[in-house]
Amino acid sequence: MELLEYQAKELFREVGIPVLPSQKIAEPRELKKLQIPYPVVLKSQVRVGGRGKAGGIRFVANTIDAIAAARAIFNLSILGEYPKFILAEAQFNAEQEFFLAVVLDYDLQCPVLLGSATGGMNVELLLENLQQVVVENDFSPFLARRLAVKMGLKSQLLQSVSDVIEKMYRLFQENDLELIEINPLGVNASGQLMALDGKITVNDYAWARHQELIALNSANQVSEILDSTQPQWSWYDDKGKVAIICNHPDLALLTWDLVVQNKGKPACCAVISDVDSALAASQQLSQVLAQLPDLKGLKVILINILTDQATEQKMIEAIAEYLEVIIEPQPKSTGEERQLVANGALVRSRPTSANKSSVNRKPLSSVKFVLRFLNSKLDWFPETELEKQVYWSQNLEEAVAQAISLVKSK
Amino acid sequence: MNLSSRSRILIQGIDSPQATQYALQMKAYGTNIVAGISAGLGGETIAEIPVFDLVEDAIAKVGKVEATLIFVHPYQVLDAAKEALAAKIPRILLLTNGVPPLDLICLLREAKKTDTLILGPGSSGIIIPEKISLGKLNPEFYTSGKIGVISSSESLAYEVVLELNRVGLGQSFVVTIGNEPMIGSSFQQWLSILATDSNTEAIVLIGQPDSSQLEVANYYRNAKLKKPVIAYLVGLNAPKEKIYRDATTIIANQLSYSVSTDNNHNKIVNALKQAGVLIAKCPSEIPVLLSKTLLTEKLTQKN
C-alpha cells in the first residue's frame, strides 16, 4: 500500500526529517485561506510517478494564479489517476539534490540502504551514482554513516544526511515498510536539508497492524486496497480464445503455459481461492463467471481446479446455474462411493426475469466449458442439447488439448 | 531427513478450526502428534491431543519433539516460532500465509544462530507417503516410492505427483516450501537434504522461475550429485506482472516509471541446463525424463 506524498511527509515530520511548511488542499477555493506565504508549489497528490513531466506540479506567485493552477491540476489525470488533494508547499532553493531510500531486498532477505549524491529527475545519473549498504544484522547508525561516506559526503553533510537515513530506517522498521524514499533531499546554500518529495510503501501483509497508518489514510483510500477475497479477471489478451479459471495462482501459471505451448491463445485468467476467503469457492466461481469479460473471440472457458469431490460438486452446480441448467438435488450417496451417479434428472429451465437481472449475463451459446476435475464425472449435464457445451477430463493435458481443439473446430 | 511415524510432533495454535481439521487428518495418517499449544486452553484436549499453555510445559510433560507445526495468525507467527526456538525444537513448519517480512527476517536471523530449520511461511507441509504427514497435504494423492518432490505449492506438487503415480513412480518425500515473497528454507536447501536421503533416487523441483533456481544450479554443479534432478518451471509464458526482488532493481524500476520487459527466464533455464538439471516442459514429460535417466543410471551401475 503506497502512501501519498502528503501522508509520507506527515510521517517524516513526526520523526524529525525536515519538510517544508505545507497545506493539503481539497478544493481550489481553499487556497484563499492559504497560510503559507507565496511563492508556493502546488503538487498533484497521485501515486503514479512522472507527475512533474505530466504537468502535475506548478509554481505560483499569487492567489489568482494558484486557483487557476489548482483547477488545472484537479482536472489533470496522470496515467489515469485524478488527484483528490493538492499539496501547497513553500519553495526551497536547493543547490544540491540527493536521493535516499531504504528498501526491502527479497533476494538478500534484509533491508538495504540506498543513496545517490545525484538525486532528482535525472534517473540515469541518479542510478549511475547509486550506493548501497546492506543491513544484514540489527541496524546501527554507523551503517547510515557508511552510506553517506560511500555517497562522497564530508564534514557537516556527512553527519546531517546520516541523521536523515537513521530516521528513515526508524520509520521503515516501526511501520513495516516495503520502501521509503526521499527524492530529492534538497540542500540549500547554508547546508540546510529538506525532504522535497517522499514516497512510502507499507508492506501489504503488515498494513492491518498499523492503526495509525490506517487513520492517516482517509476512508476512500483504504478501500483501494485490493480485496483478496474478491476474485478478479486479469492478464487480458483481446485476441485470446481461452479463459482460464484455477484455484491457485501457481496452477493458473501452469495452465496458461500449457495452453500457450499447445498453440492456444489464452484470453484472461481468474484465480479463486478456497482458503482465506469469506466466499465459498463455488460462489467465487459464480462471481467470476458473471464478470466474464466481453471478448469477441472467446471460445472456451477452461477450468482447472484441484479440490475435493464435495467442492467439485458445488462448482459444477455453479456452472450449471450459469448455463441455466437446473440440477435436481442428488440423493445423498452413502458410504465411500467415489463416483456420483447421474440420475438424468435434468431440466432446462426458462430463465426467469428475476435471475436475469441479478447478474449481467451475456449469451454464451458459443462458449464451451472444459473442466478439469479429479473426481467428478459430468454425467448430469444434458447430452440432449444440439451440441455439447461442457467437456470434462481428469487429465490436465487432455483438458488443454480438448480446449484447443474446440477453439479450432469453429 | 529423519522423519517417521515415530517422530513426535507438536502443533502450535491447535485451537484454530483449520489446525484442528488438519490435526485429525494427520493423525488418521498415523502422524504422532504428542501435544498441542493454545494459551488459556492448557489441560484440555482437542482432537484427542493434550493441550498446553506453553511449549515448555508441553515438552516438560511429553518429552522432546522433532518438529512443530505453527498454525497461528500471521502476526503471532514470530512469537510462536520464538517460543519454539526457546524450547530448542529443531524444525519449525510455518503453515500460515501473510507473515510480515520484517517479522520473518527477525525469525530467520534467530533460527540461523541455532541451525533450526524453518519451512514456510505459507508451506502446505511435508509428506513421506505411508509414513508421516506434516501439514495440510491431502495424503490420498501420494504413493510411496523413490522420487523426492520439492514444490513451491501444494497444487503444483499435485500436478506432478498425479503424473508420477500414473506411471507407477511413487514418492519418497514431498515438501512444499511455500510461494510467499520471502521464505525460510529454499529449493536449494531441500535439494541438499534430499541429496543425502537414502530413500530418494531422483528429485523433481517445481516452482516459478526466480533467483532461487540460480542457487539450485550453482549447488547442483558444485555438489556433483549422483541423483538426477528434474526441474519444471511454471509461468514462463504467462503475462505475470514482474516482481523485482533486489533493492537496486526495485528502485531503478520504480524511478523509471516503466515495467521493464526483460526477463531472466532464459537465464534461469540455461543455468539449470548447464548445471545438468533436466528441464521438463510439461507435467507429463517429468515421468518420461525420470524413467529415462533412472534406466541409464541402472545400466551404468550394472556395467
CA–CA dist B180, B194 (Å, integer): 22
Q: Which residues on chain A are in Cβ contact (under 8 Å) with B211?
A: 107
Residue that is written with C-alpha cell 491457485 in the block = A248
Residue B148 burial class via C-beta count within 10 angstroms: exposed 0-12, middle 13-18, buried 19 and up: buried
Q: Angle at which helices A249-261 and A396-408 pack, to 10 degrees?
A: 50
Residue A205: list chain B partners with CB under 8 A.
74, 98-101
CB-based contacts of A173, cutoff 8 Å, min separation 6: A111, A139, B102
- Cross-strand pairs, B69: B11, B93
Average pLDDT, chain A: 85
Whether residues B284 and A397 touch (CB distance < 8 A) is answered with: yes
Pairwise CB contact (< 8 Å): A179 & B281 = no
A256–B237: do the CB atoms touch at under 8 Å? yes
Cβ-contact B234, B208 below 8 angstroms? yes
Q: What are the pLDDT digits (tens) for A272-320?
A: 986 656 678 888 999 899 888 888 889 999 999 988 888 888 888 888 8
Residue A27 has pLDDT above 90, yes or no: yes
Nearest-Cα residue of chain A relative to residue B104? A109
**Across the 303 residues of chain B, what is the mean pLDDT of every consecutive 10-residue run?**
89 96 96 97 96 98 97 97 98 96 97 97 97 95 97 95 95 96 96 95 94 92 92 90 83 71 79 96 96 80 63
* Sole residue written with cell 509554481: A59
Contact residues on chain B for A108, CB-CB shorter than 8 A:
246-247
- Cβ–Cβ of B251/A107 closer than 8 Å? no
Q: Which residues of B touch A107 (CB under 8 A)?
A: 211, 245-246
Residue A324: predicted pLDDT: 73
For A398, list phi and psi in degrees, rounded to 5. Answer: -65, -40
Q: What pLDDT is recorded for position A224?
A: 46
Q: Within a 10 A sphere around the Cβ of B260, how many other Cβ atoms? A: 11
Of A107, A112, A203, the CB nearest to B100: A203
- Is the pLDDT at A151 greater than 60? The verdict is yes
Best mutation site among A108, A251, A254, A274 for testing chain B: the one with the most B CBs within 10 Å? A254
**Pairing mode, strands B117-119 and B144-151:** unpaired
pLDDT of A365 reads 61
Structure confidence at residue B302 (pLDDT): 64
The interaxial angle of helices A309-322 and A281-290, nearest 10 deg, is 30
**Are A9 and A31 contacting, i.e. CB atoms less than 8 angstroms apart?**
no
* Contacting residues for B106 by C-beta, under 8 A, at least 6 apart: B78
Q: Quick: pLDDT tens for A172-226.
A: 999 999 999 999 999 999 999 999 999 999 999 998 999 888 877 654 454 444 4
Cα B89 to Cα B70: distance, rounded to the nearest angstrom: 12
Over the stretch A321-351, which tens digit does the pLDDT of each residue have?
888 765 544 444 443 333 333 333 333 333 3
8 A C-beta contact, residue B123 and residue B95: yes
**CA dist., res. A257 & res. A117, Å (int):** 44
Partner residue opposite B238 with nearest CB, options A49, A126, A256: A256
SS3 B122: coil
pLDDT, position B294: 85
Contact B245 A397 (CB under 8 A): no
Residue of B nearest to A183 (CA): B255
Predicted pLDDT at A245: 95
Go through B92-128 and write b for each residue having 16 or more CB atoms within 10 A of its CB, e for each that does not: bbbbbbbbbbbbbbebbebbeeeebbbbbbbbbbbbb
A258/B282 touch (CB, cutoff 8 Å), yes or no: yes
Bridge pairing between strands A266-271 and A242-246: parallel
- Is the confidence at residue A60, as pLDDT, over 80? yes
What pLDDT is stored for residue A336 in this prediction? Answer: 36
Q: What integer pLDDT is reported at residue A390 of this predicted model?
A: 86
Compute, in degrees rounded to 10, the torsion defined by CA atoms B129, B130, B131, B135: 50
Indicate whether A375 pLDDT > 90. Answer: no
Q: Are A283 and A258 in contact (CB under 8 A)?
A: no
Q: Do A181 and B105 touch (CB under 8 A)?
A: no
Q: Complex ipTM above 0.85?
A: yes
Interface contact B102-A206, CB threshold 8 A: yes
Q: What share of chain A is helix, strand, coil (3-state, %, to 5)?
A: 35, 25, 45
Q: Choose from B149, B234, B265 for mutation: most chain A CBs within 10 A.
A: B234
Per-residue burial over A387-406, b if 16 or more Cβ lie within 10 Å, else e, is eebbbbbebbbebbbbbbeb
Interface size between A and B, measured as CB pairs under 8 A: 135
Q: Say what the pTM is.
A: 0.89
* Chain B nearest-CA residue for A119: B255
Task: Kindly identify which residue of chain B lies nearest to residue A257, measuring between CA atoms.
Answer: B237
* Mean pLDDT on A222-241: 71
- Among positive and negative, which fits the CA dihedral A229, A1, B261, B246? negative
Helical H segments across A230-308, by residue range: 249-261, 281-290
pLDDT at A354: 38
Buried b (16+ CB within 10 A) or exposed e, A70-94: beebbebebeeeebebbbbbbebeb
CA trace torsion B6, B11, B16, B17 (10° rounding): -10
Residue of B nearest to A228 (CA): B98
pLDDT(A367) > 60: yes
Q: First vs last Cα of chain A: how many Å apart? A: 45
Nearest-by-Cβ selection for B247 from A114, A237, A261: A114
DSSP B240: P
**Across residues A221-242, what is the average pLDDT?**
71
How far B96 CA lies from chain A's nearest CA (Å)? 10
- Amino acid, res. B148: G
Task: Inform me whether the pLDDT recorded for A80 exceeds 90.
Answer: no
d(CA A319, CA A303): 10
Grid coordinates of A165: 537515513
pLDDT for A334: 42
Question: Distance (Å, rounded) from C-alpha B166 to C-alpha B103?
Answer: 42
Q: Which tens digits make up the pLDDT trace of A102-143?
A: 999 999 999 999 999 999 989 999 999 999 999 999 999 999
Which chain B residue has its CA at the smallest distance from A206's CA?
B100
Q: Give the residue-averaged pLDDT of A389-405.
A: 92
| pLDDT computed for residue A363 by the predictor | 46
Confidence of residue A230 (pLDDT cuts 50, 70, 90): confident
C-alpha cell at B70: 505453527
Cell numbers that stand for A383 in this block: 447430452
| Contact by Cβ (8 Å): A235, B240 | yes
